[in-house]
């Protein structure tokens, strides 16, 4: 009886969030060309065209019961904290239909996620390894380390890192599946199908929930080796991964360095897979060591190819109209009371995280208007010929928020409504200035990069500025004016 109650509790929570439109519900009729692109222990992943304009990934689940619903809720909370990062697969919302039988009614939910067109890292390496330079390999390792650093800095342990859920999208690493499938298997008291990922599992971990940050570091080391070699670890065509391999690894078996692998790189991944967890580096130490190597060898770090000169392109590309900032809507507070009740209900289920906020269609339009006008105002301040005095400009913009709009509401709405370039830029700008959050240069830089590589001019300016003064990234004046 208690199990049924818990099952309904978690499913009802998801149902209520969808009915209140706190998560965007994507309608089945707008999806087409749905194709199965992968099957795992938890369910299937499909690629689907959305309104014939872009592809999404749809993540399904074989058994949509209370256990699965609870773990999905946990996954959604994790997504709230980390989806700002360019190397993390983004969560967009929820759909409710059966991809394999679209004419039938289905009560199972699908997670609507960012689609990585090059698929899993293991497939990408198999198809493209011979074309990769060491610059490419270092960048992949660096991006992977940055993604894991994002998790660990937020107190999140992935627990399931392997080259099947490290994805590649347009030569950018995208981390996915934050231990969801493993937690579902564990919570369901079913036999975990670990043989396929034995090479990546910390040999010091005997139970799922003993996996910790140091276990993630072990997996990172194996992935670094895989990036350097282009091979699956311990792979043999004539043998499958089994308990004997797990025993050998626990006794000290490790892969040999691939030919021509730089010594510094080998040292990093061998330290990562050290048999004594306390002797493994932290992920932030790994990031800094990779930065040092890449800077020393003049390797350009991730996503610098889209930086443009602000002075020559900003005014022309943005086509700014000062009259757009004359009036500004206040954030609609109508969701606040209902959202508080949802949070209170969720707290009763012994969780402490705040529920991510989404919008009705009407309020989404209002938020987009506010975001657009605010970005235009930001441009106006910078474009008045004062861009060299950005400290003063920051004060001007802070005053604007204080006097015109409720910045706290906007900040929380921006966290889970990253559905256009202005929103991505503005969330980065909040982190850059410390508006309704502590100043976080790394988060700001990652968001600026995300928007800039998709053509957002203001974001490109701030990427250049970050490189110029060394905020959130290594100082590099050459990249600043590229």
Helices 335-347 and 2-19, axial angle in degrees (round to 10) = 160
CA 48 to chain centre: 20
**Residue 326: exposed, middle, or buried by beta-carbon count in 10 A (0-12, 13-18, 19+)?**
exposed
Distance of alpha carbon 343 from alpha carbon 356, whole angstroms: 9
Distance of alpha carbon 366 from alpha carbon 203, whole angstroms: 52
| Residue 443 contacts residue 83 (beta carbons within 8 Å) | no
From residue 287, alpha-carbon distances to 23, 295, 479 in Å are 34, 12, 20
Distance of alpha carbon 104 from alpha carbon 241, whole angstroms: 39
Q: Is 70 annotated as a binding residue?
A: no
| Residue 140 contacts residue 227 (beta carbons within 8 Å) | yes
Closest to 57 in 3D by CA, of 29, 93, 21: 93
Summarize the annotated binding site for ATP as residue ranges: 59
Which residues are known binding-site members? 59
């Amino acid at each position: 009886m208690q199990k049924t109650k818990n099952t309904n509790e978690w499913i009802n929570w998801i149902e209520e969030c969808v009915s209140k439109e706190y998560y965007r519900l994507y309608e089945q009729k707008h999806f087409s060309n749905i194709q199965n692109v992968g099957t795992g222990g938890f369910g299937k992943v499909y690629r689907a065209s959305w309104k014939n304009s872009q592809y999404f990934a749809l993540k399904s689940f074989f058994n949509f019961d209370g256990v699965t619903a609870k773990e999905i809720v946990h996954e959604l909370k994790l997504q709230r904290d980390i989806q700002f990062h360019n190397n993390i697969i983004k969560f967009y919302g929820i759909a409710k239909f059966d991809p394999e039988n679209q004419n039938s009614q289905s009560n199972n939910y699908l997670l609507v996620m960012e689609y990585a067109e090059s698929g899993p890292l293991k497939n990408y390496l198999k198809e493209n390894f011979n074309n990769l330079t060491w610059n490419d390999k270092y960048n992949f390792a660096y991006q992977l380390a940055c993604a894991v650093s994002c998790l660990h800095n937020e107190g999140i342990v992935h627990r399931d890192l392997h080259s099947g859920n490290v994805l590649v999208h347009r030569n950018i690493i995208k981390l996915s599946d934050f231990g969801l499938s493993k937690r579902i298997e564990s919570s369901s008291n079913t036999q975990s199908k670990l043989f396929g990922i034995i090479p990546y599992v910390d040999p010091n971990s005997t139970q799922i929930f003993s996996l910790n940050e140091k276990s993630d570091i072990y997996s990172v080391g194996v992935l670094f080796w895989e990036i350097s070699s282009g091979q699956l670890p311990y792979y043999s065509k004539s043998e499958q991964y089994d308990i004997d391999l797990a025993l050998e690894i626990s006794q000290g078996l490790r892969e040999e360095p691939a030919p021509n692998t730089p010594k510094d790189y080998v040292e990093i991944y061998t330290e990562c897979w050290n048999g004594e967890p306390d002797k493994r580096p932290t992920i932030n130490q790994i990031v800094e060591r990779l930065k040092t190597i890449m800077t020393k060898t003049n390797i350009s770090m991730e996503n610098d190819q889209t930086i443009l000169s602000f002075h020559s392109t900003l005014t022309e590309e943005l086509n700014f109209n000062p009259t757009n900032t004359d009036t500004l809507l206040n954030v609609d507070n109508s969701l606040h009371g209902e959202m508080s009740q949802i949070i209170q209900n969720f707290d009763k289920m012994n969780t402490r995280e705040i529920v991510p906020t989404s919008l009705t269609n009407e309020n989404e339009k209002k938020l987009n208007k506010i975001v657009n006008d605010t970005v235009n105002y930001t441009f106006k301040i910078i474009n008045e010929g004062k861009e060299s005095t950005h400290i003063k400009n920051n004060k001007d913009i802070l005053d604007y928020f204080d006097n015109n709009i409720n910045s706290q509401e906007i900040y929380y709405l921006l966290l889970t409504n990253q559905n256009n370039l202005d929103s991505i830029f503005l969330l980065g700008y909040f982190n850059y200035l410390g508006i309704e959050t502590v100043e976080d240069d790394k988060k700001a830089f990652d968001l600026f990069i995300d928007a800039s590589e998709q053509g957002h001019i203001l974001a490109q300016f701030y990427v250049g500025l970050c490189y110029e003064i060394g905020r959130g990234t290594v100082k590099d004046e050459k990249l600043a004016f590229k």
